[in-house]
Structure 1
């Protein structure tokens, strides 16, 4: 049996999270203040969503920090799974925000309120700059870490939402149609929902130890089965240790046990390079027994 793991230097996003939280707290205070002053649901709903994103950034920051805690005898993987819980918590938090925004928007459609359009444009324009700048802090890690990708998607969606609020303010300023404000809020809710859905599906999948997106288990199975001397592959399991690290275990039936150590190290390196699997545990069998419990790779 062989266990191999690769430890790439973890990206450090502590400063990015701290700066993102600070910028968004300042903006939430400004946006909510103007929203209450002029009675704009578009500003208040966007401020509420931005506040939930501050909580989301804090969750992602906490998950990112806990994932770096060293393993212990009681927690042999450390706290890596905290990043998965943070991504899932972010998705659920955004779904709650969507419901609140949509509920209030429908109420305002029935009972429109007088709104001054120009201040909405000014405040939301600031939001475009802040949300875009915050999203860019997580640009480099969005493809390799679901937790960081969640932070990026939230802030990128917020930048788009702020653009929508600007357009609503211009529309109200030009026409005086106050229904544009709650209608924009419904569009905001829809944008947040669609940007959150993929994050929710991916984080739930990781939480139940499903194969991470981007890895085809059948392709992994076929690759292992094609290796020199391998007669069969069974008990193949692929799961996420965190939002950025993947593990694999498998039994390889190899009747002729030659160059075993070299074979195991070469296979582990290939799994890392081809599929991005960092932690590999392989058990070699002669194939004389009947230890063939299951074969998830064929499912």
Structure 2
């Protein structure tokens, strides 16, 4: 007896305006745009390291180091795209979709570690400034601005709802600001001979790197810690679900993110004794997909009375647990004025 039901609503199209990006042509196009940006950045970076060493400019070398992380971030995004596209098999029941989040985390960490090293070098140079050749610095930085604008444009054409692609984009955008700072410092060194401008420009780059790195580590960390998507409040979702007739209680509500733009939800839902469990499940799935963009749901729907009857002292039900959780995780949402 009792309608015990697991409903799986799978929405492979994706949400948040990138439905078409999920597979096929658009994924290839994304890869192509990222590869073009990678070519631009890789070739310019080599030039920049050489000029930076010859001109003794830390700002240029720091930009080149930043560009190296740009290149790595694009390579990681490309690898992650390839891995995430693989079908789920064996022990990896979600496939390798989290590869992209690993890539974002790696990007964030490299930015933060580089920032520490560059900050140390810049402070050292403020105290004992070496001679810096302003001319080559200015010319190289202006060329860097052009290269970064082109690379940023390429990446903006790819699907930025992916955290890996967004990570690469953030890297390049920060690099662009860094080059503007370096160009200004080159101009100052050239016109006034104030060589400390080079180290000051480096510290501006460091601040930008810390900001971008922290953002990426925080966002990917949320996903690894199975937090609900930032725009979804699980309490509000629980209250919304329990408001639907004939639902009487929602507990064990879990909302997490598989990979960027792909949220999943599971919950145990109790329905009035006369209610239609299957219809309730369908209604809840529709509500979650339309109002919250959650397309992957697993809902266990039971009649309230049966579930309550089966809860007694351990052993009373012959060791059977008829679906009701012995210790629900998180708040219990009930119908009526007192939701929790």
Q: Deviations over 1:211-230 (max 9, x none)?
A: 12222212221221112211
Say if 2:178 is the partner of 1:178. Answer: no
What's the secondary structure of 1:227's corresponding residue?
coil
- 1:41-98 Cα offsets, whole Å, 9 max, x none, are 1101110111122112211221122111101132111111111111111111111111
Distance 1:95 1:144 in 2: 23
Instruction: Give the match for residue 109 of structure 1.
Output: 126
Q: Does 1:280 align with 2:297?
A: yes
Instruction: Flag structure 1 segments of 5+ consecutive residues without an equivalent.
Output: none
The 3 A distance-change label for structure 1 pair 104 and 195 is same
Provide the rounded CA distance (Å) in 2 between the counterparts of 1:297 and 1:141: 40
Distance 1:278 1:130, change over 3 A: farther
For residues 223 and 214 of structure 2, what CA distance do their matches in structure 1 show? 14
Compared CA separation, residues 16 and 153, structure 1 to 2 (3 A): same
- For 1:272 and 1:278, how far apart are their aligned partners in 2? 5
For 2:328, the equivalent position in structure 1 comes to 294
Alignment of 1:1-299 (within 5 A): 1-8=6-13, 9=20, 10=22, 11-12=26-27, 13-139=30-156, 144-256=161-273, 258-288=275-305, 289=307, 290=311, 291-292=324-325, 293-296=327-330
1:141 Cα offset (Å): 6.1
Using the alignment, how far apart are the partners of 1:258 and 1:134 within structure 2? 57
Q: Whole-Å Cα distance in 2 between the matches of residues 223 and 140 of structure 1? A: 37
Paired with 2:85 and 2:274, the residues of 1 have a C-alpha distance of 38
Structure 2 alignment gaps of length 5 or more: 1-5, 14-19, 312-323, 333-339
- Please identify the structure whose Cα radius of gyration is greater: 2
Report Cα offsets for 1:90-115 as digits up to 9, x if no partner.
11111111112112112212221111
Query: Over the residues paired in the alignment, what is the CA RMSD in angstroms?
Result: 1.9
**Cα 1:129–1:257, aligned 2, differ >3 Å: closer, same or farther?**
farther
Partner SS for 2:88: coil
**Does the 8 Å contact 1:136/1:152 carry over to 2?**
no
| Cα distance in 1 between the residues matched to 2:274 and 2:32 | 50
| Residues 267, 135 of structure 1: alpha-carbon distance in 2 compared, 3 angstrom cutoff | farther
> What's the TM-score once normalised by structure 2's chain length?
0.82
- When the two structures are superposed, what TM-score results if normalisation uses the length of structure 1? 0.93
Q: What secondary structure, in the 3-state scheme, does the structure 1 residue paired with 2:259 have?
A: coil
Contact 2:108 2:215 in 1 (8 A): no
Number of aligned residue pairs: give it: 299
Alpha-carbon distance in structure 2 between the residues aligned to 1:262 and 1:270: 12
